[in-house]
Amino acid sequence: MNADVIAAGITGRSLASIDDFSNVELSCVLSGAADVGAGMERYGDVCRGKIMASLFFEPSTRTRLSFETAMLRLGGQVVSAVDIGATSLAKGETLADMARVVGGYADIIVMRHPWEGAARVVSEHAGVPVINAGDGGHEHPTQTLCDLYTLKKDQGHLEGIRIALWGDLKYGRTVHSLTWALARFGATVVFRPGAGLAAPQYVLSKLATDYGGEVVSGEHLRRDEVEGVLPVDAIYVTPHSPHQLAMLPHMSAQMELDRGVDALYVTRVQKERLRAEGDDGQPLKYPIVNRRLLKTPGFERSVVLHPLPRVDELAREIDSDPRSLYFAQAHQGVPVRMALIALILGRMPAGISCSESPSDDWVPTAHMEYMHDTGVQCPNERCVANQPTERRYLRQRFKLIDSTPPRLRCMYCDHEVEVMAVATSEAYDEPTSRRKYHSPTSRWANAIRRDNLLVFSSIQDAESRGFKPGAKEKVSG
């Protein structure tokens, strides 16, 4: 597709989640960043006359400075609020009202907020594009763009690379979006978490549901021989990979693993955690990435990325190793954000060539919106839709994931609702006595048309709506 057409399609759009952009659009941002990086001064007047509002409802100096630098290097201007916690923007006012007011001042809003899904809500009310600079533990899409850019710049492509995610895969916000983005571009992802720090189940299940690859549990793989190196917990084998054809997922995974990894993506571990003890009273293992590791078979060619700041999980001795990309990765936040802002503001100079790759036109599985009111609530306390100020105007919204059992995924924060019972909405046309609910894994469940599928997150919800247990199957509640 013509690059200028793709760029035009990005103009005026928000980036609340990395999923808001298609592969070809993300590739266009990365190509733009490469062009910016090749001569930043050529972009010095591109956003002249434009103003970015930089709203940080929780502090993140590094991310904020990177965004503000990007806007200033484009010739734009910045109004910045880091003092929001104490002001009326925070006290009792809804995000929607705040968005409408600030959207009347600025041409683009960059926002960091502790509530998950907050950037989505702001993007729906501001009237100007919104870039999510981190919403709680949910997403940080521009960090993911920087990560992808650094990998692509170094490896030449994303498709087919093998990357090990290392360390805290449970709490690291950045690593979740990155996992999905890597899957979209056809990378093979090896999970090597520290003890007790495995990736949450919903991350893995989204990999399988939305990106079509195989997730193979580490139990099926040969034990890692390297002493002190984190064990492989799981491996995601992309459908782009030819090994997939083997139809033997763990053999295919083992083959991928045996080839070593092209990149190590190390995450910061909380200090408390480094000192924590496991069930056996021994300190939990969290091996650091050091010179010795980088000489170990499987890591001999691996470049090292890290979202920074590091604590002790990256030894300083490797800072001078040419494979250590983490400082370059931080610096590339500026050209990546410059390209993104310029594209969104419709100021990207014409003629940037978007390099195309086979994965660019790939799209993840789409899910329909769940349109029934069956009392389902997002289970995530930090979800924007569960905040007292926002509940006054926001309704709960979900996508229906058509798996067995079916699941609902919150449209704000991506958390999933466990479904305890299902029914068909056609039952509402029946006498109350004939309304039945079923186990979500039952054959009854599978037989209901997805449009008509009612799901309940508790038996009580089903029964309060007049449904009785289906005759043939028992449902646990």
Q: Please, what is the minimum distance in Å from the beta carbon of residue 135 to a second copy?
A: 17
Cβ burial, residue 176 (10 Å; 0-12/13-18/19+): buried
Q: Please, what is the minimum distance in Å from the beta carbon of residue 307 to a second copy?
A: 10
Site string for a second copy, 319-358 (x = CB under 8 A): --------xx-xx-xx------------------------
Nearest CB to a second copy, comparing residues 334 and 462: 334
Q: Please, what is the minimum distance in Å from the beta carbon of residue 136 to a second copy?
A: 16
Question: Which part of the chain contacts a second copy (CB under 8 A), choosing from 49-57, 131-139, 202-210, 287-295?
Answer: 49-57
Site string for a second copy, 374-413 (x = CB under 8 A): ------------------xx--------------------
Please identify which residue in 105, 283, 353, 477 interacts with a second copy, judged by CB under 8 A: 105
Please identify which residue in 1, 42, 49, 353 interacts with a second copy, judged by CB under 8 A: 49
Q: Please, what is the minimum distance in Å from the beta carbon of residue 220 to a second copy?
A: 37
Counting contacts by CB under 8 A, is residue 278 touching a second copy?
A: no
Site string for a second copy, 151-170 (x = CB under 8 A): --------------------
Q: Please, what is the minimum distance in Å from the beta carbon of residue 464 to a second copy?
A: 28
- Which residues make up the interface to a second copy (CB under 8 A)? 41, 44, 49, 51, 53, 56, 59-62, 64-66, 68-69, 72-73, 77-84, 86-89, 91-93, 97-98, 100-102, 104-106, 271, 308-311, 316, 327-328, 330-331, 333-334, 392-393
